[in-house]
């Protein structure tokens, strides 16, 4: 049950499971830490205000007012693909308010997760708070992945871009339940599994990391790996994801291992082999379950991919998340074609270069 569901006139802040754990934490905080309780209450008040603001704007999927908003799917695709600047003023206000709400919710649950570490009365709720924290952050991350695909629409078929844009609109419309999108849950499952995998590095083949990650995911991921096995760029994006290193760092590390006849490398040896400061913390290279490190990893990988694409240098030009979403969209398109044709006909043209 979603407490803030499809009826935008009834603003709510949490899903039913989130509401239960929040109430339990609120009660414990009130009794044991008045200062933390006061701060958290202020954060909740701000969340409620943002939730009310979000509910006050008309539906994104059917918005129509005197301003020039994007409510039609084709207009959205055109705006994102052809406008290289900031789209904030071109999109309905509800989009910006919704993202602000989810961002505030991320910080709220992040703060509560820290309190769970320090306050033994809240310790029993740490797991549930962690999951809520991840869900909020990963919904923002899913939006960024969809936006990355739509904004590079010239690389893919119009049908594929349209499907991605439809999913993006659904994310914007139903901020409080990203599972309402068809493929958003697969991305969220991937990130949640990644927070449980700490890179071993070792021989730098990634076998252990990939096996652990795959054991936590469903058939959609396994089907993706089957396709990725024959695509060098996709495999490179997988390596960046599981190691938490850039393609350039991975190649340099392998080169140094070959030159110095090193068969296995530990995390502690990475800075020396990569000519980096010993105190440098590699993304996703620790036991931390902080989902913000994964968000940071995606932003760094996405930026590096764009740089390689512009410069036409070796390495992945798209992130693993983009490739996974594209494969899911492609699979959905093929299924739709077969359903409409009534036969096992061909799908769309390949999306890879």
* Residues 249-274 pLDDT 10s: 999 999 999 999 999 998 888 888 88
pLDDT of residue 155: 85
Mean pLDDT of 123-128: 96
For 151, phi then psi, to 5°, come to -70, -15
Mean pLDDT of 342-352: 46
pLDDT of residue 348: 45
pLDDT of residue 341: 44
* Residues 154-212 pLDDT 10s: 888 888 888 888 888 888 888 877 666 778 889 999 999 998 888 889 889 899 999 99
Which helix (H) or strand (E) segment is 82 a member of? helix 73-82
Cα distances (Å, whole numbers) of residue 122 to 28, 30, 143, 146: 7, 11, 31, 36
The Cα 343–Cα 320 span in angstroms is 31
Residues 327, 321: contact at Cβ < 8 Å? no
284 Rama class: left (phi>0) / alpha (psi -120 to 50) / beta:
left
SS (H, E, C) 232-276: HHHHHHHHHHHHCCCHHHHHHHHHHHHHCCCCCECHHHHHHHCCC
pLDDT of residue 166: 83
pLDDT of residue 102: 95
Neighbours of 156 (CB within 10 A): 22
SS3 content of the chain, % helix, strand, coil (to 5): 65, 0, 35
pLDDT of residue 349: 42
| Confidence band for 76, pLDDT divided at 50, 70 and 90 | low
Give me the residue label for tokens 């993006």. Answer: 168
pLDDT of residue 90: 74
| Confidence band for 152, pLDDT divided at 50, 70 and 90 | confident
């Amino acid at each position: 049950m979603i407490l803030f569901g499809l009826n935008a006139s009834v603003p709510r802040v949490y899903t039913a499971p989130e509401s239960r754990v929040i109430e339990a934490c609120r009660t414990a905080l009130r009794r044991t830490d008045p200062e933390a309780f006061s701060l958290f209450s202020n954060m909740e008040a701000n969340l409620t205000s943002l939730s009310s603001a979000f509910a006050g704007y008309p539906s994104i999927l059917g918005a129509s007012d005197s301003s020039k908003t994007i409510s039609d799917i084709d207009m959205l695709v055109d705006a994102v693909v052809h406008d290289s600047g900031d789209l904030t003023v071109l999109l309905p206000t509800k989009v910006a308010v919704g993202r602000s709400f989810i961002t505030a919710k991320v910080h709220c649950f992040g703060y509560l997760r820290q309190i769970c570490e320090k306050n033994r009365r809240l310790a029993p709720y740490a797991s549930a708070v962690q999951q809520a924290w991840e869900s909020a952050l990963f919904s923002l991350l899913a939006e960024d992945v969809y936006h990355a695909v739509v904004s590079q629409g010239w690389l893919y078929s119009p049908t594929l871009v349209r499907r991605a844009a439809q999913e993006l609109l659904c994310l914007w419309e139903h901020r409080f339940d990203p599972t309402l999108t068809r493929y958003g849950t697969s991305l969220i499952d991937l990130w949640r599994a990644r927070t449980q995998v700490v890179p071993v590095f070792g021989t730098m083949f990634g076998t252990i990391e990939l096996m652990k990650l795959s054991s936590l995911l469903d058939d959609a991921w396994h089907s993706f790996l089957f396709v990725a096995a024959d695509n060098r760029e996709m495999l490179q994006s997988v390596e960046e994801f599981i190691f938490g290193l850039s393609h350039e760092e991975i190649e340099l590390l392998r080169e140094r291992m070959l030159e110095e006849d090193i068969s296995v490398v530990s995390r502690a040896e990475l800075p020396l082999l990569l000519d980096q400061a010993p105190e440098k913390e590699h993304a996703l290279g620790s036991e931390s379950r902080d989902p913000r490190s994964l968000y940071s990893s995606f932003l760094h990988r996405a930026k590096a991919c764009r740089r390689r694409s512009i410069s036409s240098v070796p390495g992945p030009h798209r992130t693993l998340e983009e490739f996974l979403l594209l494969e899911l969209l492609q699979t959905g398109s093929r299924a739709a074609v077969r359903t409409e044709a009534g036969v096992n006909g061909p799908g769309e043209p390949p999306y890879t270069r």
